[in-house]
Amino acid sequence: MPDLLIELFSEEIPARMQARAADDLKKLVTNGLVDAGLTYASAAAFSTPRRLTLTIEGMLDASPSLVEERKGPKADAPEKAIEGFLRGAGLTRDQLEERDTPKGKILFAMINKPGRPAAEIVAEVLETTIRNFPWPKSMRWGSGSLRWVRPLHSILCILSAEDGAQTVPLTIDGITAGDTTRGHRFLAPDTITVSSFDDYSAKLKRAFVMLDPAERRDTIWNDATNMAFANGLEVVEDAGLLAEVAGLVEYPVVLMGQIGDDFLGLPPEVLQTSMKEHQKFFSVRNPKTGRIERFVTVANRTTADDGATILAGNEKVLSARLSDAKFFWENDLRIAQSEAGMQTWVDRLSNVTFHNKLGTQAELISRMEALAGELAPMVGADAEEARAAARFAKADLSSEMVYEFPELQGLMGSYYAKAAGKSEAIAAAAQDHYAPLGPSDDVPTAPVSIAVALAEKIDKLTGFWAIDEKPTGSKDPFALRRAALGVIRILVENDVSMKLHDTILEHLSQAPAPAAGSAEETAENLLSFLHDRLKVYLKDQGVRHDIIDACISSSDGAHAGATDGNDDLTLLVKRAKALSETLKTDDGENLIQGFKRANNILSQAEDADGVEYSFGADIKFAETDEERALFAALDTAEAQIKPAMEAQDFGTAMSAMASLRGPIDAFFDAVQVNADNATVRRNRLNLLSRIRTICSSVADLTKIDG
């Protein structure tokens, strides 16, 4: 069985495209080979800035011969129909088989499809792959029709076996496949002839090319950390930058340079961001002081002076970049520490549009300020401090530093708030109010930060719901799903109890645009969206959708006709988790069956009789011990559940509900509900109604699957 080696050699491929391109090459070629009948043992793809490589081991040397059976017309069909079938099958009349079927005698063609050599199939599949390669961006280079991300220089395509290597015959836009490649652009640019993947990888290594991106990443990281450690420093981890830099070099050479003393006073985040965005440098930190003091750059070659010239050039360019950052920082500090202070930046935001239907950033801040003050008592924050924090939380959007580095918004606001003499709580809120930005981010925990973060997200949600700009399908241009999940996580993870329905309804009255429907409808629609996001949040924690549905549907009377009291997401989560744990027990699981049986019998009787059996169960009409035991069990459970629910002790309430499992099972085993005596029947149906009422006060068990 031969092995296949493919290399597509070009000008430098953008680092961000390399990993995806290697995967696409592997998928397209292997799928094409398998579809053509060529199976294989294993495949692996690699990428460097100048090449995409695919190696396939243990491939068949030819596709298998096949016999295709094709059903034709009836034997007595018109001649023209039979002739058309023969032309399509490429056979003569005497080569057809005539078979008896339930529909009469039918003609069948047995078409032999001989196998094809691997080289022929590989050539077809590779040409199709190259001509239809899914680059995010591509263009035609030269006079040919081929589109590629950068000019494609050569194609290496060989089949290697024990008896030697065979070049696959293939020419695309004047590029003929061969058995040669080239090494490092500067250190070994000559042509290299290869006969197998092992030969290829070994010769590339000698030609200063590390083929495997993982090896380049490991080399960069190990050399950088060792170099920093030797100087008593540490490299700031950045997996994204490491992957990008590994895609910029074929032979990484790690160099560590100095940052000018004039710039060491800049915030470490400014230094790190500037070096990463502009120079692709790694930041090197002093673990004792937390300052960024040096940088690591990765060259693509060795030099006679051990990189001294490269470092000198990089340090010169870095100095110019950091001079700009230092100017922005000092100018921003002057404004923050002036008499007008950060209010200067807030005033400028009156000229910055937040959304054409929702007003300016200054108007957004005004709404956040009011809402943060209202939320403050609910989260244990000082209302005045929360309003001040909301007023200045987005002030840094007008600063020169954030204009240059938008990713530093919030963080720079924290620095400027401290410089302006604001409290630690206000400074922290400037940085934390955007959080959480992702599912793994920490949520704000300081009371003032919680108030401002909630105000920012609730304002965004109510505003966009008011103008009917909700997420649709996979589209969510304003990150409203993220905002909703942020509200949920902030409330739940900080154990904040809040009636969201009232908050949303009140804030809708302050929206700059009237709600698309009534305010009540908009509030309920938004609350339903939050419930949907809550299901996603709880699913990740092992709580089933039907369980949260059961808790959402149950009523505790707190918001009759509006949200049934289920707008307190923190209590809703506690209830759902308690129910989830209860249903994992035998009593809890079996109670569901007993409840559903009681509910079904009761619902059928109410439909048939045209009445509601919702009160009047009396133990004096009980005829059996099991019936009387159920009365007693319901009395006991109700006495435990009601105070437990009021005290938000959901575990006790769920346990009390689960304790009904035994008495309910015994009741159904011994008692016929639809008794001949009308009084007894009515009493028993009212008893079933008590089961439904008591269980539904904890959760709507009709929503539980099973």
**pLDDT tens, position by position, 228-251:** 999 999 999 999 999 999 999 999
CA-CA distance, 335 to 556, in Å (whole number)? Answer: 53
Q: What pLDDT, on the 0 to 100 scale, is given for residue 559?
A: 35
The first and second tokens of residue 250, run together, are 């074929």
What distance in Å separates the CA atoms of residue 429 and residue 451, rounded to the nearest whole number? 9
Asked whether the predicted pLDDT for residue 436 surpasses 50, the reply is yes
**Axis-axis angle for helices 383-392, 361-379 (nearest 10):** 150
pLDDT of residue 582: 86
* Lookup result for tokens 């699981």: 589
Residue 50, token pair as written in the block? 């100048």
152 φ/ψ angles, rounded to the nearest 5 degrees: -85, 120
CA 347 to CA 20: how far, in whole Å?
A: 45
Cα separation values, 376 from 191, 196, 366, 386, 388, Å = 71, 69, 16, 6, 12
Q: What is the mean pLDDT of residues 36-57?
A: 96
Mean pLDDT of 163-183: 94
3-state secondary structure of 656: helix
3 state SS for 574-618: HHHHHHHHHHCCHHHHHHHHHHHHHHHHHHHHHHHHCCCCCCCCC
Note the pLDDT of residue 514: 62
pLDDT tens column, 687-704: 999 888 888 888 888 888
**pLDDT number for residue 246:** 97
Average pLDDT in the 131-138 region?
95
Task: List the single range of 127-141, 351-365, 579-593 with lowest mean pLDDT.
Answer: 579-593
pLDDT in tens, 544-569: 888 888 888 874 433 333 345 688 89
pLDDT (tens digit per residue) in 391-415: 999 999 999 999 999 999 999 999 9
367 in Cβ contact with 510 (< 8 Å): yes
Residue 280 tokens read as: 């692709």
pLDDT band, residue 513 (cuts 50/70/90): low
Give the whole-angstrom CA distance, residue 373 versus residue 351.
25
What pLDDT shows up at residue 474?
A: 82
433 has pLDDT over 90: yes
622-656 tens-digit pLDDT: 889 998 999 999 999 989 988 988 888 888 888 88
Q: Tally Cβ neighbours within 10 Å of residue 262.
A: 11
Rounded Cα distance, 654 and 249, in Å: 61
Burial of residue 441, with CB atoms counted within 10 A of its CB: 0-12 exposed, 13-18 middle, 19 or more buried: exposed
Contact (CB, 8 A) for 673 and 624:
no
pLDDT digits (tens, 9 = 90+) for 363-391: 999 999 999 999 999 999 999 999 999 99
Say if CB 347 and CB 376 are below 8 A apart.
Answer: no
The partner residues of 283 in beta bridges, in order of sequence, read 295
pTM (two decimals): 0.79
User: Which amino acid, one-letter code, is at 487?
Assistant: V
> Quick check: 467 pLDDT over 70?
yes
668 vs 281, more confident: 281
CA-wise closest residue to 4 among 38, 37, 36: 38
Instruction: Kindly report the average pLDDT of the chain as a whole number.
Output: 91
Q: What is the 3-state secondary structure (H, E, C) of 514-570?
A: CCCCCHHHHHHHHHHHHHHHHHHHHHCCCCCHHHHHHHHHCCCCCCCCCCCCCCCHH
Q: In this structure, are residues 273 and 407 in contact, taking their beta carbons and an 8 Å threshold?
A: yes
**Contact, 532 vs 545, CB < 8 A?**
no
Rounded to the nearest 10 degrees, what angle do helices 650-658 and 569-583 cross at? 30
Strand order of the β-sheet with 282-285 is 234-235, 282-285, 292-299, 253-258
341-374 burial: b if 16+ Cβ within 10 Å, else e: bbeebbeebeeeebbeebbbbbbbbbbbbbbbbb
In 90-167, which residue ranges form alpha helices assigned H by DSSP? Answer: 118-131
pLDDT reported for residue 614: 81
Q: What is the CA radius of gyration of the chain?
A: 36
Q: Which one-letter amino acid corresponds to residue 260?
A: G
DSSP string, 258-315: EPPGGGTTS-HHHHHHHIIIII-PEEEE-TTT--EEEEEEEESS--TTTTHHHHHHHH
pLDDT at 113: 77
Instruction: Please compute the mean of the pLDDT values over residues 282-295 and round it to a whole number.
Output: 95
